[in-house]
Amino acid sequence: MLKEMLELRNLPPLKEKAEMLDVLQREEYGYLPPKPDRVDFYVQENIIRNFCAGNAVCNKVTAFCEMGDKRFAFPFYASMPTDGKKHPFFVHINFRSNIPDTYMPVEELIDNGFAVLSFNYEDVTSDNKDFTNGLAGVLYEKGKRGAHDAGKLALWAWAAQRVMDWAERQPDALDLTHAVVCGHSRLGKTAMLAAATDERFTHCYSNDSGSCGAAIARGKGGETVEQICARFPFWFCEKFNDYREKEEKIPFDQHYLAACIAPRKLLIGSASEDAWADPVAEMLCCLAASAAFEKGFVCEDRLPEVDDCYLDGDIGYQLRRGLHYFSRTDWQRLMQFVMK
């Protein structure tokens, strides 16, 4: 059933990774800014008293980035177990700076043996059409950008990679063989882009990311390219507006983004009542990208059902009951996938 459904979508075939990454950045997200010439970090230790009953510390870290004669800084938060062991970790691109947060049960993650590095995406640049503030203001003179310059998703992805720069400097505390970038909704799209363009992330989790994230655009239900570009054109490069109401004309689809994460590991999460994201289109993306992974998508040949949890392949999929939300169930299945 699923293969037949996929054939009807008439997707472009997978290509070499470099070619797929180039077309995704040139036509959809814009090219990520280059790595900084230098990154330094300032750490404020133990900013939350009695954090996690003393089983972890929460440090505030500020990344100072130099790019030629330009400077940019943003904060993130490192929630680190205090048992002296090396831990797998999440780089969580979040909507808020809260520790813990509605979308981030930090103590539960710590108790399961993970460290958590998180940041508020709007500490990088605002989630609107204003390109004069934060990182955007540093990169774009008077807020003006070219047709293929980075949109906001690419700028947030670049920031996640700077958090990974800090993680690399903590080899005694962080297990770099289990480095997970994750996010929800627009930040699930961001997490996929961050992982696709940075092989230091060994795992990626995209939660309810839908259109222009983990959902195939051709034949998609819910949010379309026209609708997402009408509301959020600043997430993408200017060129992407050419494809409004023209999904069939796009020279790629979202399986390219998923495939660019191979041969590393990718988990895509859906919610049963999140029709706007379209769980079927998200599951089909896993199948369409499967061939890029050493152990591809392993699933039953049917439409997704509540509590489906396909974790055996290097690309996995899970569907939980409920609405558009980053839930504890999502985190629990993610931890299972990472440590399998």
- Catalytic residue positions? 185, 324
The residue type found at 218 is R
How far, rounded to the nearest angstrom, does the alpha carbon of residue 62 sit from its chain's CA centroid?
Answer: 21
- The answer to whether the CB of 236 falls within 8 A of the CB of 28 is yes
Beta 115-120 vs 87-94: how paired, if at all? parallel
Pairwise CA distance, residues 38 & 35, whole Å: 8
- The answer to whether the CB of 30 falls within 8 A of the CB of 155 is no
Place of tokens 């490069």: 237
Give how far Cα 215 sits from Cα of 69, 81, 136, 160, Å: 39, 35, 27, 22
- The answer to whether the CB of 280 falls within 8 A of the CB of 286 is no
Q: For residue 170, what are the contacts with CB-CB under 8 A and spacing of at least 6?
A: none
Pairwise CA distance, residues 203 & 88, whole Å: 11
Pairwise CA distance, residues 305 & 163, whole Å: 36
**Which tokens belong to 97?**
């700076």
- The answer to whether the CB of 19 falls within 8 A of the CB of 260 is no
Q: Which residues of 29-40 are buried (b: 16+ CB within 10 A; e: fewer)?
A: bbbbbeebeebe
Q: At what angle do helices 152-168 and 186-196 cross, to 10 degrees?
A: 60
Our CA dihedral for 325, 256, 179, 167, rounded to 10 degrees, sits at -100
Q: For residue 246, what are the contacts with CB-CB under 8 A and spacing of at least 6?
A: 225
